[in-house]
Each structure stands twice: as C-alpha cells, then as structure tokens.
Amino acid sequence: MMRPGVKQYVVARPLYSEDSFAEDHEKIYRHHKTMLDHVKQYFTCDSKRAKNAALSLLPVISWMKIYRIKEWLLSDIVSGVSTGLVAVLQGLAYCLLASLPAWYGLFSAFFPVITYFFLGTSRHISVGPFPVLCLMIGSVVTRLVPDEGQPLNITAFEGLSIDERRVLVAYSVTFLTGIMQLAMGMLQVGFVVMYLSDTLVSGFTTAAAIHILVSQLKFVLGLQVPGISGPLSIIYTLEIIFNKITSTNVCDVVISLVIMGVVFIVKEINDRFKSKLPVPIPIEVIMTVIACGVSFAFDFKTRYGIDTVGHIPKGYESPVAPNIHILQETAVEAFPMAIVGFAVAFSVAKVYSVKHDYTIDGNQELIAFGVSNIFGASFKSFAASTSLSRSAVQESTGGKTQVAGLLSAIIVMIVTLAIGFLLEPLPKSVLGAVVIVNLKGMLMQFSEVPYLWRRDKPDCMVWLGTCFASIILGLDLGLAVGLGMELISVVIRAQFKNVFTLQCDVNGKAPPQIYEPEGVKIFRIPSPIFFANIEFFRSKLVEAVGFNPLRVLRKRNKALRMIRKLLKKGDLQWTSKGFLNTSCGPIQESEDESNMEELDLPTDFKDLPVRIDWNAELPANIVVPSVDLHSLILDFAAVSFLDISALKGLKTALKELIRVEIDVYIVACDPYILEKLYHCCFFDDEVQPSMFFLTLHDAMLHILEKHPESTEKKSNYEKVKKTIMHYICKNQMQLIFQCFKYGIQNTSLFMLLCRF
C-alpha cells in the first residue's frame, strides 16, 4: 500500500545476465601495474618526489609554514608551561613504575619531546612517560636485576650499584624498542596497529591499571616490597603486602589519603566546569608543592621514617651505548613495548587530529617515536609514548602545535638543571597517590563489560580474556593471549557466519509480507568464502534446500540402473501409456555395489525410450526422493573474495545441484571474482557463465519466464515482484558498479541504470 504523496519511478530495461550485459556494452580493460612497475616507481626520484619526501620526513616544515604567531604563540606558551609542570610531576611518579630512581623520569619527559617536535605529525599529544609502558619496563628491570637475589650474569653489571644496573637495563631495552619502531616505520607497516582493536586495548589497559595500582600500594603504605615479574607476579606481590600490612607507615597512609581525596575532588570540578574554567586547575602540581614544603618544614623523613625522592643530580649525563647482551635478553619484551607505545600514542593522536581537522601518518609516527626512543636511550631515558591526561592538559589549555610540547620540555630542563633540589623532600607516597588517582579513567573501563555483553558477546570475551590474562600472566603474555583470542573471534565470525534464505531469517522466523515463489530458493552468503568456511557454507546450503543433492543423484542413478536391468530382462516394457510391469512376482531391488563412481555422474537417458520424470510415480515400485525445487539463486553481493579451496568446493556443490536438474543462478557477483573464475578455469560444460546475472531481480524475472507455472495466479505474481523489489533495495548500486566495470559511455543509458 503506497503512502499518499510518495514519489514513484518506473524503469524499463532489458533483462541482463552477465553474458548479455557484456555483449551489449564493451568492457574497458584497465592497465594493472606489475610488481616491476611498483619497484621502478619506488626507486624513481625527481625534484618533486624529493621535496615530498623531505616534507613527510620532517612534518615540522609543513605546519611551521602556516604558523600564526599572533594567534597561536600565546596559547602555546600557556599550554607549554602548564604541560611542563604536569610533565615534571608525572616523570617523577611514573619512573617509580619502572623501578628506577625518580629523577630519570625527567629525562624521559625531555629528550623524546625534542625529536618528536621535528618528526611527529600530531600537533597536540604530549610525548613522555606512559604508565603502562613504564610498568612493562619495570617488569624487565626486576627480572634482570631483582631486589632480592643475584642479577642476571652480564659482564656489564660488574662494579655497578643496583640502581645503575637497572638504569642500564632500562635504556638498553628502550634503545631496542626504538630500533623496532623505526624499522616498522621504514618498512611502512604502520597498519599493524589495526590488529589491536579498541576492545583489546581497553581490556589490556584496564589490566595494566590493576598492575599499576598494586605496584603503588607499597609507596602508599610505606612498605618495603621487592619487585616481582613474570606470571602470577601480582598475586605474589599482594601476598607480601598482606604479610607486611602490620608494618604500614601511618604517616604515608595519611598523606596519600589526603592527596588522593583533594586531587580527586578538584579533578571532578575540572571536568564538571571545564567550559567555564580558562585552564584546568593544576591540582597535582599544587599539592606536590604543598607536600614538599610540609615535608621539608617538619622533616618527615627523619621524624616519621617516610621514603622521599632524595637527591636529584643537576644536569645531564654523557651519551652512552646500549649493552648487546641486554638487547639479546630483552628482545621478546621489547616488541610488545614497541607495539603498545605506538598504538596508544597513535590512538590519542588520531582523536585530536579528527577534532582539529588535520591528518596524521601512522608510518611517520612510528619513525618519530623510534628516533625519539633511540635518542632518549642514548641519554639514559626510558621508553616514551604519550600520557592521556598530559595530552588532555596540553590540548585543553590552548595548545595549537608542538611548540607547546617544546616549551614543556624547556620547563622540564629548567627543573633538571636549576631547581630540582626543591623536590628532594617530596614523599614517594605523594607520587604514588597521584598515580593512583590518575588511574580512574582506565579503571572505569570495567563499565564497558555489561554493554559489550549485551551488544557483542565475542568482543566481550576478548575484553575479559585480555584483561584477566594480562592480570594473571603479566602484560606481555596477556597481550599475546588477547591477540590470539581476537584472531580466533575473527576466524569464528568468518567461518560460521549466519547464512539465510529469503523466506526466513537466521532464527527461522518468516518476516512479514515476504512471499517465496514456488520451486525457488534464494540463498544469501553474507561473508567471503574461503578454505575455513567452505564446508560450513555447503552444509548450510544443503540445509536450506532441504535435501542432499548428492544422495538424490545416487538414488536416481541407482533407479536408472534398475530400470535398464528390468528392460533388458523383459520384466519391464515401454508402452504408449508408460512403463508396464510384466513380471509375475515381486521385483527385488538390486544390491549391486559395483561401479559406485558411476552413481556420482550426471544421469544419462540416452538408451531409454523416454526421459524419466522423477517427481512422477516410477515403475516397479522404485522410490526416489522427490525434489520440489527447480531454481536456486545464490546472492553473492557480500562475497568479497574466494580462494582456491572455495572455488573447488563451490564448483562441486554447483555440479551436484545441476545434476539433479536444479537451475542455479549467481547474482550480484563482484567483477573481480568473476574475472578470477575465468582465470581459474572454473567453467565447463555443466557450470557455465550464463548462470551469472547482474541483479537478483534479473535472475528472478528469468526464472518466472522459464517456469511460468510459478506465477499462474496474478496475485502471486504481484507478491513475487514486491518481494524481490523489497529484497534488492539494499543492493541497487550493484548495477552501477557493473556500468563502471564495462565502461558504459552512453549517458542516457547510464542514468537509466542508476535510477534502477
């Protein structure tokens, strides 16, 4: 029933199969580049390409040319100072996660920022320590240089203190991480980040937040807890903390609770009134300054025995080289660090690039972080990425470009060279409290679980599996488990994709106002067909048609063999009224199992007096399953590729159906798949190109012309047309793609087809 006032259009065009469409419209063959062409193009160099290469390698040139000094400089200065103060505090705090002396965090907040200023494509992220990455470094450091017991037998450790050994391990693994990132960037494999889904990253970072929380408990409680790495490390750490809970330093606990309470409340105020505040209140910096002053005035270290940051050396150390033996020992841990560091930074950069309307290059970001980590490791910095909270400060305070990042590095440098001594009385419990409060965003990701369970259970299982594996087994093994579960979920979704016929949905319920013509099945395949799901596809096809075509074929060939035998013996004769049984006794069915291969061949009627009607009553009480289906339409609109195994399986399935006298039609097939079928010699005397039609509507009209008995009643015919038009409304652009495939030059014809 048409709604009043709704516009209509009517299209009249010939009925097209793929063959007839190709005959009427000449196909334009486009030149496809060979591997040699790509190699020549890659090594071809001219002035324009050299200029583009320089601009892509040094993105700073591109945005500095458009830098608006009057409009942007003041905003960048304000943002740089604010971000620099936060970077100093987070550098000290996150360094504790890496099991290193606190002042080395200032190096990570300075050196990587300098190189990223020239090489990075994001204008808003703040480069420096990232808590998850620091924790992964800490696990490597404590594995090679444990708090208790002997360190790994490495010659370079001789004569060094425990802190110096740990610093050596940290900057060596950072150097290797940078090498891996640089290599991936040079090889243009920035796409690897696509294999880390949002669900996997969310579960992984939530588990990392749990690890960070547990690692900071020893500072908040004032306990001496040795660093533990490897599987079940979090359980062993909690066991030690609970065993020593009676030795808790009350002063540390009080300081931590006060810091966490005040910082949490002010952060909530910042979030609620961020539209009214010119800049967020730097509450972490304020509380740190107050804690430093109070600790110094009342001599907390001597009077209450709390652990403080301690001596902070002035200046920077000379460049150093990594240790080869440590590189060999940490190669396995360095790779997930390279991936996680890049994935987090790229995700944050992508958010800000969309918000501020500019593009970022994943491969260039890999190069930028690779060089930053290599350069930083030379000055004893540990691996850098980006902190979500620090980047938010840089962007929300008005930062326009990486000039703000450069100014933040200058603030860090001033602290390192001149006023670092003011932070010496800072209690480590303050840093631990600041770290714990900043975990709120990551811990709140637990709220995603109910939503994922309701919307996408496989994704929910990936989240839970990644999270629990990372908590129990450690972050490196947990990431590997998460990737494995993600790949398994992809395989399961592709291999066991729901397929359905037109008259019913995947639950077997018939949609309203759907009519299926008699003797016709429409089978839609909603995914690519390949080696892993071809058997699933064939089983679902058998289920949809309601019978096994191979079994029916064998039954028919057995019946033909029986009829020939009876005719030869004279027990069966052909008359004008049909077959006549002349035998007096009952006819026994032959149990001859010889030549079983012949039963799989097409039925042959050449030596029989008449062609057998398999749906009619057969002579001599021979019973063969009846087949009410005469046409099957396979909708390939969602099939994007087929591999060789799928081609073989599909051809076998088509032959089995054709041999039981079912006309098979394939519609909306991608031109590249059709071209591949020709190249792979898919077609023969049985499987022919004429079974391919442009659209479902073309195939159905062809069937209705060939089998008019399906539309004897006009009312049913109208239902057929409405059903088909309703079904193909989602795929009406398929014909337009065919026009481009064959290069139609006739504008009026093209517009006519577009309207269809």
- Alpha-carbon distance of 257 to 146, in angstroms, equals 30
pLDDT tens digits, one per residue of 465-499: 999 999 999 888 898 899 899 888 887 777 666 55
Q: How much is the pLDDT for 605?
A: 76
Per-residue pLDDT at 507: 40
Residue 35, pLDDT > 60, answer yes
The yes-or-no verdict on residue 649 having pLDDT over 70 is yes
Q: According to the model, what pLDDT value does residue 633 have?
A: 92
Of 634, 615, 620, 604, nearest to 700 (Cα)? Answer: 634
- DSSP character string of 133-187: HHHHHHHHHHHHS-SSSPPP--GGGTT--HHHHHHHHHHHHHHHHHHHHHHHHHT
Residue 363 pLDDT > 60: yes
Q: Model pTM greater than 0.75?
A: no
pLDDT of res. 497: 62
Please report the pLDDT score of residue 712 as a whole number: 53
Q: Is 20 exposed, middle or buried (0-12, 13-18, 19+ CB in 10 A)?
A: middle
For 99-157, what is each residue's pLDDT tens digit? Answer: 899 889 999 999 999 999 999 999 999 999 998 899 899 999 999 998 877 888 888 88
Place of tokens 């270290």: 301
**Helix, strand, coil percent content, the chain, rounded in steps of 5:** 60, 5, 35
Q: According to the model, what pLDDT value does residue 710 have?
A: 62
Q: Of the given ranges (87-101, 235-249, 413-427, 577-591), which has the lowest mean pLDDT? A: 577-591
Specify whether the CB–CB gap between 354 and 98 falls below 8 A.
no
Q: Mapped to the 3 state alphabet, what secondary structure does 20-57 carry?
A: HHHHHCCCCCCCCCCHHHHHHHHHCCCHHHHHHHHHHH
Residue 647 carries which side chain, given as an amino acid letter? L
- Reported as a pLDDT band with limits 50, 70 and 90, residue 671 is confident
444-450: average pLDDT: 91
Q: How far is CA 504 from CA 425, 496, 500, 523, in A?
A: 73, 18, 7, 10
With beta carbons less than 8 A apart as the criterion, state whether 427 and 291 touch: yes
CB 404 within 8 A of CB 85: no
In this prediction, residue 266 carries a pLDDT of 92
Instruction: Note whether 569 and 581 are within 8 A (CB).
Output: no
The pLDDT of residue 530: 84
At 683 the three-state DSSP class reads: coil
Which residues contact residue 335 at a Cβ distance below 8 angstroms, ignoring those fewer than 6 apart? 180
Q: What are the two backbone dihedrals, phi and then psi, of residue 280, each rounded to the nearest 5 degrees?
A: -65, 145
Residue 414 tokens read as 């001033």
Query: 499 and 523 in contact (C-beta within 8 Å)?
Result: yes
Query: What pLDDT, on a 0 to 100 scale, did the predictor assign at position 409?
Result: 94
Q: Which residues contact 169 (CB under 8 A, 6 or more apart)?
A: 140, 141, 144, 145, 326, 330
Return the closest-CA partner of residue 389 out of 340, 436, 342, 339.
436
pLDDT, one tens digit per residue, over 504-547 is 433 444 454 556 678 889 898 888 888 878 888 888 899 888 89
CB-neighbour burial class of residue 516 (10 A; exposed 0-12, middle 13-18, buried 19+): middle
Q: Position 599: which residue type?
A: L
- CB neighbours (10 Å) of residue 325? 16
C-alpha to C-alpha distances, 711 to 198, 293, 518, 701, nearest whole angstrom: 51, 92, 8, 11
Whole-angstrom distance, CA of residue 333 vs CA of residue 622: 71
Q: What is the pLDDT of residue 594?
A: 54
Q: Among candidates 402, 370, 425, which has minimal Cα distance to 61? A: 402
pLDDT tens, position by position, 211-225: 889 988 998 999 988
As a whole number of angstroms, the distance between CA 656 and CA 389 comes to: 62
pLDDT value of residue 593 = 52
Q: Which helix (H) or strand (E) holds 236?
A: helix 233-243
Q: How far apart are CA 15 and CA 696, in angstroms?
A: 11
Burial 580-614 (b: 16+ CB within 10 A, else e): eeeeeeebeeeeeeeeeeebeeeeeeeeeeeebeb
164-220 residue pLDDT tens:
999 999 999 999 999 999 999 988 887 777 778 888 888 988 998 898 899 889 989
Please, are residues 471 and 209 in contact by the beta-carbon 8 Å criterion? no
SS3 state at 635? strand
Measured in degrees and rounded to the nearest 5, phi and psi for residue 47 equal -65, -40
Segment 77-93 shows an average pLDDT of 90
Round the average pLDDT of the chain to a whole number and report it: 83
Residues 6 or more apart whose Cβ sits within 8 Å of residue 397 = 75, 78, 79, 82, 83, 279, 280
SS3 per-residue string spanning 263-305: HHHHHHHHHHCCCCCCCCCCHHHHHHHHHHHHHHHHCHHHHHC
Q: Which of 130, 119, 106 is nearest to 408 (CA)?
A: 106
Contacts of 743 (CB under 8 A, 6+ apart): 25, 26, 27, 28
pLDDT digits 0-9 by tens, 305-337: 898 988 888 888 889 999 999 999 999 999 999
Region 660-668: what's the mean pLDDT?
93
Q: What tokens appear for 251 in the block?
A: 């002063």
CA distance 163 to 313: 14
Comparing 694 with 618, the larger pLDDT belongs to 694
Domain ranges of the chain: 72-145+161-310+317-492, 548-576+595-626
Q: Is the dihedral of CA 400, 405, 410, 414 positive or negative?
A: positive
Please tell me the predicted confidence (pLDDT) of residue 501: 52
Confidence bin at 721 (pLDDT 50/70/90): very low
Q: Residue 347 in 3-state DSSP?
A: helix
Which residues are paired to 488 by β-bridges? none
3-state secondary structure of 439: coil
- Secondary structure tally for the chain: helices H, strands E: 32, 9
What count of other Cβ atoms lies within 10 Å of the Cβ of residue 276?
6
State the pLDDT at residue 251: 93
Looking from the CA of 632 toward its CB, the CA atoms found within 13 Å total 28
**One-letter amino acid of 697:** H
